[in-house]
Structure 1
């Protein structure tokens, strides 16, 4: 039974891995910005770029999922 769901388990595991990775990167950058006394504009621009990149990654995954389900 577990063999039947191997692909699903791999897909969910990889997606969770990336969620945890994004979270840890975000926490590390937050710590660096806090300890480096970065001005407010710099913090906002860094978080904007990071969120824009993460949104692109999420959008790509949504497109791949939609594309694979239509074929």
Structure 2
């Protein structure tokens, strides 16, 4: 695993761990009509999913595409 992949994994984890300590998140605020903590967690959940999908997509070597096995029998 390369260093960039570790960064993609560490950033969302740190965002979730720091949630109770961030004053702009942990307070009586509404973001888009929902409590700020809920909006923060939804944002980072979607961001984590997108980040991991991008990491998975670009971490593979170019020749390691879909494993397509053909089961043709010679005629």
TM-score range, shorter chain: 0.5 to 0.7
* Among candidates 1, 9, 12, match of residue 22 of structure 1: 12
Separation of aligned partners in 2, 1:21 and 1:45: 17
Q: Which runs of 5+ in 1 are unaligned?
A: 1-7
The structure in which a higher percent of residues are strand is 2
Instruction: For residue 45 of structure 1, report the CA deviation from its aligned partner.
Output: 1.5
The structure in which a higher percent of residues are helix is 1
Which structure has the greater CA radius of gyration? Answer: 2
Equivalent residues, number? 59
Instruction: For residue 14 of structure 1, report the CA deviation from its aligned partner.
Output: 2.7
Matched, 1:41 2:35: yes
TM-score w.r.t. the length of structure 1 is 0.54
Q: Which runs of 5+ in 2 are unaligned?
A: 66-75
